[in-house]
Amino acid sequence: MSVIIDDLDARILNFLQDDARIPLVDLAEKVASSRSAVWRRIQKLEDAGVIKKQAVLLDAEKAGLGVLVFAQVKMHAHSRDALPDFMEKVRGFPEVIECHTLMGNIDFVLKVRVRDVQAYEDFFWNHLSQIDGVREINSSIALTAVKDTTKMNVTAVG
């Protein structure tokens, strides 16, 4: 289902990204609309898949996952079997919190959260490097998060 995001939808989405548990009456007041209109808009956005789900954001350090690694993966070949097999295996690793295919000389970039460097080394040698078709892995440990947000700047479209 395709949806055109208007100004009201955009304002609702931006407030919900700040606090998905905001009471409907407060959200309606902030976006200058009625409670029922805001509720209908949220339902429309959920039905269209614009709002995928509501989740709790954790402080990784306090949750015991203080090491963030970006792993760039090059594959040997780009066959019909190698890439889907890699993607399927990566989806099964709880340490991998994001995986993206890329254009250019890198095939995948993975965002990996682990307890410490030793945990990443274990993940690297016992899981990631064992996937068939992997040619090269370059791992970079993040030192400081300059910006770390899930919030997207939603604007009206159309």
Helices (H) and strands (E) in the chain, counts: 5, 4
Q: How far apart are CA 136 and CA 113, in angstroms?
A: 20
How many distinct structural domains can be found in the chain? 2
Residue 79: band (very low, low, confident or very high) from pLDDT cuts 50, 70, 90: low
**What number of residues does the chain have?**
158
C-alpha dist (Å) from residue 120 to 105, 109, 135, 158: 24, 15, 18, 45
CA distance 98 to 16: 22
Split at pLDDT 50, 70, 90, the class of 82 is: confident
Domain assignment of residue 92, yes or no: yes
AA identity, residue 136: E
The verdict on residue 148 lying in a domain is no
This prediction's pTM: 0.89
Q: Is residue 57 part of a domain?
A: no
What would the pLDDT profile of 39-55 be if each residue is shown by its tens digit?
A: 999 999 999 999 999 99
